[in-house]
Amino acid sequence: MSSSPDWGPTATPDVLRARAEMLREIRGFFAERNVLEVETPLLAAHSVTEPHLVPFETLFRPAGGGTGLQRPLFLQTSPEFAMKRLLASGLGSIYQICKAFRNEERGRLHNPEFTLLEWYRVGFGLNKLIRETEDLLHSLLTPSRPTIRSVCFDYCSLFEQQVGADPVTADFSALARAAERLGYPEAAALCAEARPVWLDFLFSQCVQPRLADWDLVFVTGFPACLPSLARTHPDNPAIVERVEVFIDGIELGNGFHELADPAEQAHRFEQDIATRRALGLHEPEEDKRLLAALEAGLPDCSGIAIGLDRLLMGILTASRIEDVLAFPVERA
Amino acid sequence: MALISTSEFKGGLKVMLDGDPCTILENEFVKPGKGQAFNRVRLRNLKTGRVVERTFKSGDTLEGADVVDTDMQYLYSDGEQWHFMAPETFEQHGADANAVGEAVKWLKEQDMCTVTLFNGSPIAVSPPNFVELTITETDPGIRGDTSGGGGKPATLETGAVVRVPLFVQTGEVIKVDTRTGEYVSRVK
- Tell me which CATH homologous superfamily contains domain A13-149+214-331: Bira Bifunctional Protein; Domain 2 (3.30.930.10)
As a whole number, mean pLDDT of residues B123-141 equals: 92
Q: For B6, which residue in chain A has the nearest alpha carbon?
A: A104
How many residues are there in chain A?
332
What does the pLDDT read at residue A255? 97
Distance from CA of A125 to the nearest CA of B (A): 21
Residues 119-178 of A with CB under 8 A from B: none
What does the pLDDT read at residue B33? 86
- Put simply, the answer to whether A196 touches B36 (Cβ < 8 Å) is yes
Return d(Cα B72, Cα A180) in angstroms, integer.
42
Q: Read off the pLDDT of residues B52-101 as tens digits, 9 standing for 90 and up.
A: 999 999 989 999 999 999 999 999 999 899 999 999 999 999 999 989 98
Identity (one letter) of the amino acid at A280? Answer: G
How many residues are there in chain B?
188
Question: Hey, CA dihedral for B86, B89, B94, B99, is it positive or negative?
Answer: negative
Instruction: Check CB contact of A327 with chain B, cutoff 8 Å.
Output: no
What does the pLDDT read at residue A36? 98
Mention every residue, 6+ apart, whose C-beta is less than 8 A from residue A51: A272, A275, A276, A279, A281
B148 has a pLDDT exceeding 90: no
What does the pLDDT read at residue A11? 96
Instruction: Check CB contact of A105 with chain B, cutoff 8 Å.
Output: yes
What does the pLDDT read at residue A90? 97
Return d(Cα B50, Cα B54) in angstroms, integer.
13
Residue of B32, B40, B54 lying closest to A200 (CB–CB): B32
What does the pLDDT read at residue B141? 67
Mention every residue, 6+ apart, whose C-beta is less than 8 A from residue A147: none
What does the pLDDT read at residue A67? 77
Report the complex ipTM.
0.84
Residues 295-324 of A with CB under 8 A from B: 307
What is this structure's pTM?
0.84
- Put simply, the answer to whether B35 touches A104 (Cβ < 8 Å) is no
By C-alpha distance, which of A76, A39, A80 is closest to A57? Answer: A76
What does the pLDDT read at residue A311? 98
As a whole number, mean pLDDT of residues B143-167 equals: 82
Percent of chain B clearing pLDDT 90 (strictly above): 80
Q: Which residues of chain A neighbour B18 with C-beta distances below 8 Å?
A: none
Block means of pLDDT (10 residues each) for chain A, 332 residues, are 79 97 98 98 94 93 82 96 98 98 95 98 98 98 96 97 96 96 94 92 94 96 93 94 97 96 94 91 91 97 98 97 97 96
Enumerate the domain spans of chain A. Answer: 13-149+214-331, 153-213
> How many CB pairs below 8 A link A and B?
63
